[in-house]
Structure 1
Amino acid sequence: MSKILITGIVASGKTTLAKQLSSSLGIPWHELDAIVHHRTSEGRHKRTAEEQLEVIRGIDQSGPWIFEGVDRISYRHLFEMADTIIFLDPPLWKRKMRIMTRFIKQNLGLEKCGYRSDIVMLKLMYQWTREFERNRSTFESFLHPYQEKVIRLVDNDIREIPELHLMK
């Protein structure tokens, strides 16, 4: 368990789990959004799919890693590269509640974010959630060939990852 991909839809707990695993395993973690939307002194710009792959390959060559992010076609090669895929799949009601809680915390200055937290982004997060649920069967079909390395977590509890118990 040295190359871990954590995937799930908005507000599924990807970043929280990535931080926990990184701390527990001593493996660096990388937000895929930060690879897609590169921050420079001039602001954020979106890398091309080829540029994203180049950054990911560079990280891959440096040793163990944890990547976390929503499923995007531009980095689906990570499903092949990873030795463990963690699919975070909490109930829909919980994700919807987390989206609103996150929005409130960000707008009160209690939680930082790398994007503009406004009503437009809030609506987009709910839209992405609806689209994921509508297309869930497509994602599940895509995951099928990787089942031997997929761990599905509903409660995002790090203790539910059997491989961690073997490593201690």
Structure 2
Amino acid sequence: MKIYIIGSVGSGKTTLARNIAKKTEIAAYELDNVVWEHRPDGDRRRIPAERDAILQDILKKDSWIIEGAQYADWVLPALRSADRIIFLDPPNRVIQHRIVKRFIQQKLHLEEANYRPTFHMLWMMFQWSAQFQKEGRSQILHMLNSFQEKTVILKVKKDLNKTVSL
């Protein structure tokens, strides 16, 4: 099974990917870790060739779960290869609540982060969420038109059990 999960920051992508991975024992990959190399002296954005090579290595596997907010052309090979695409599209108020909840949990060291949970990062999360609502959502829906037969759009958590059969 090859599953691609897409949605805004705070939509529940990572949580869903981890839950499916635990249930199915399929490896889950965060696109943020494909785009960024985390180093002790600070994160470094990978050059496109390096990023694309890492994605291609993941796509060669028999099964995978890939999750991310990215909707640029470089992710199209993953969308084409996926058996199931899940677009998490909860209401904006839910996303904002989750962003704040995640920030508090990370500050209290109850949840790990791939970045330092600073107030600047919290502000950036809200900015990315607003950008997603303004442009990203419609661009993703347009991009997913080519994959309608394998795409599921989930707006509320209770739809997950009814719609996603693995």
Larger CA deviation: 76-85 vs 26-35: 76-85
Structure 1 portions without partners, runs of 5+: none
Supply the AA of the counterpart residue of 1:142.
Answer: M
C-alpha change, 1:154 and 1:118, in structure 2 (3 Å) is same
Tell me how far apart the structure 2 counterparts of residues 140 and 72 of structure 1 sit (CA, whole Å): 10
Aligned residue runs from structure 1 range 38-77, under 5 A: 38-40=37-39, 43-73=42-72, 74-77=74-77
- SS of the residue corresponding to residue 163 of structure 1 reads coil
The secondary structure found in structure 1 opposite 2:113 is coil
Residue 32 of structure 1: aligned partner: 31
Partner of 1:161: 163
Q: Which residues of structure 2 form unaligned runs of 5+?
A: none
Report how far residue 78 of structure 1 moved. Answer: 1.5
How far apart are the structure 2 equivalents of 1:59 and 1:138?
24
Deviations 1:104-159 (A, max 9, x none): 12112222101011111111111111111111322211211111111111224541
Distance in structure 2 (CA, Å) of the matches to 1:11 and 1:28: 21
Deviations 1:53-78 (A, max 9, x none): 11111122221000011124232331
Verify the 8 A CA contact 1:107 1:117 in the aligned structure 2. yes
Structure-1 separation of matches of 2:47 and 2:157: 31
TM-score by length of 1: 0.88
Q: Quick one: structure 1 residues 162 and 100, their matched pair in 2 at CA, closer, same or farther if it must change by over 3 Å?
A: closer
C-alpha spacing 1:162/1:137, structure 2 compared with 1 (3 Å): closer
Shift of 1:162: 4.3
Say if 1:17 and 1:156, in contact at 8 Å, map to a contact too. no
Question: Structure 2: how far apart are the matches of 1:50 and 1:134?
Answer: 29
Secondary structure of residue in 2 paired with 1:77: helix
Corresponding position of 2:3: 4
Conserved? CA contact 1:6–1:69, under 8 Å: yes
1:22 to 2:21 alignment:
yes
Partner of 2:140: 139
> 152-161 or 62-71: which moved more?
152-161
Task: For 1:145, give the aligned amino acid.
Answer: S
**Identical aligned residues as a percent:** 36
TM-aligned CA distance change 1:128 to 1:40, over 3 Å? closer
Q: How many residues align?
A: 163
Give 1:41 shift.
5.7
| Displacement after TM superposition at 1:90 (Å) | 1.0
Report the alpha carbon displacement of residue 43 of structure 1 after superposing the two structures with TM: 4.6
Q: What is the CA RMSD across the aligned residues, in angstroms?
A: 1.7
